[in-house]
Amino acid sequence: MNRYSHNPILEPIGAHAWESSLVFNAAVFAANNRVHILYRAMGTDNVSRIGLASSSDGYNIDERLPLPVFSPSNDMENQGCEDPRLSLFGDSLIMAYTAFGNHFQHQVYQIGLTSINTEDFIARRWQWGERILAFPGIHNKDAVLFPQKFDGDYVMFHRLEPDLCIARSNNLRRWYGLKYILGPREKSWDSWKVGAAGPPILVNEGWLLIYHGVSVDRVYSLGVALLDKNNPEQVLYRSEEAILTPTEDYERYGKVPNVVFSCGQIIKDDQVLIYYGAADSSLCVATFELAELLPKK
Ligand code: BMA
């Protein structure tokens, strides 16, 4: 594993009010020889919006848009659209995110879903589709869709605290079949709560899932699990050790200390580039060999 030597790859821009204080957790999508990065940003009003940057090599940013590409549009997310995660289905990208706002009389973090046509995305036409609440009014976060359907259904990981859970839907609106998949382990780096990182990756051995775990002393690390290829409810393996844990200054000090938190990764020649928010303050990348993330044979 190698952290990129010039981390962080994205930092706030003081002159842009909407991203002047923090830029962090990001979805990524590789297309047209570029890595497109949708990142969470916060500015003077403390509302999260989503910005776009891109890179031709995955490390050096050579495009960054001056305005957000996705912002709150209703009461249910009036305090922020956080932590985007992208999954590709044909010519459409589905984005899951955390909608933070008011649901009737109470304030809640809940799962928002929307989509965009891939060509529009590449052409930077931000024509997002309808915004759907997966579980209206229910406190829930860390939603990510598998990048393929199972028996005609979308399958989503989500997090009913403190556990990583699954649900299915044939229309993105009604989600059913809620089940526990994996939870905290005692005396471990993931002893307090767990949640999915980016979309599961299909490999020969099954679905490789990168997930975050929080320890009882509030350190956010990343680890991996492997799920059955045909039945993603079946956990085949879970890493004993974290694969990434805060050690660098930019991960240890910031808005929220001791955090590495990922919403996406790309695969490039058997290497996995994991994009992660560091201390909820900047965006970083670390590169892993695919083989080092899989169970030892
Ligand atoms: C989670 C989310 C993330 C954040 C993390 C650490 O609950 O809010 O956006 O990075 O906490 O603060």
Please check whether residue 252 is in contact with residue 279, taking contact to mean a CB–CB distance below 8 angstroms: yes
Q: Give the model's pLDDT for residue 126.
A: 98
Using alpha carbons only, give the angle 218, 199, 208 rounded to the nearest 5 degrees.
85
In the predicted model, is pLDDT for residue 296 greater than 90?
Answer: no
> Would strands 22-31 and 34-42 be described as parallel, antiparallel, or unpaired?
antiparallel
Q: Rounded to the nearest whole angstrom, what is the distance from the C-alpha of residue 239 to the centroid of ligand 1?
A: 21
For 101, phi then psi, to 5°, come to: -175, -155
Residue with tokens 């290497």: 271
Within 8 A by CB and 6+ apart from 90, the residues are: none
Number of Cβ atoms within 10 Å of the Cβ of 261: 25
What is the residue whose two structure tokens read 């842009």?
16
How far apart are the C-alpha atoms of 147 and 192, rounded to whole Å?
28
Cα of 262 from ligand 1 centre, angstroms:
10
Residue 121 confidence class, pLDDT cut points 50, 70, 90: very high
Tens of pLDDT along 41-80?
A: 999 999 999 999 999 999 999 999 999 999 999 999 999 9
What pLDDT, on the 0 to 100 scale, is given for residue 103? 85
| Centre of ligand 1 from the C-alpha of residue 56, in Å | 28
Calculate what percentage of the chain has a pLDDT beyond 70. 100
208-244 tens-digit pLDDT: 999 999 999 999 999 999 999 999 999 999 999 999 9
- pLDDT score of 105: 83
Report CA(230)–ligand 1 centroid distance (Å): 31
User: 26 CB under 6 A from ligand 1?
Assistant: no
Q: What's the Cα-to-Cα distance from 172 to each of 2, 59, 133, 175, 202, rounded to whole Å?
A: 37, 33, 9, 7, 22
Identity of the amino acid at 244: L
Query: Sign of the C-alpha dihedral, residues 157, 158, 159, 165?
Result: negative
pLDDT per position as a tens digit, 260-276: 999 999 999 999 999 99
Q: What is the pLDDT of residue 257?
A: 98
Provide the Cα torsion 40, 270, 168, 150; round to 10°: 150
25 lines ligand 1 (CB under 6 A): yes
Q: Which two tokens stand for residue 197?
A: 């990182």
Token pair in block for residue 92: 């459409």
107, burial (CB in 10 Å: exposed 0-12, middle 13-18, buried 19+):
exposed
Q: Residue 139 pLDDT > 80, yes or no?
A: yes
CA atoms within 13 A on the CB side of 290: 15
Is residue 251 scored above 90 in pLDDT?
yes
Characterize the bridge pairing of strands 48-55 and 22-31.
unpaired
Does ligand 1 have an atom closer than 6 angstroms to the CB of 221? no
For β-strands 201-203 and 206-214, DSSP reports them as antiparallel
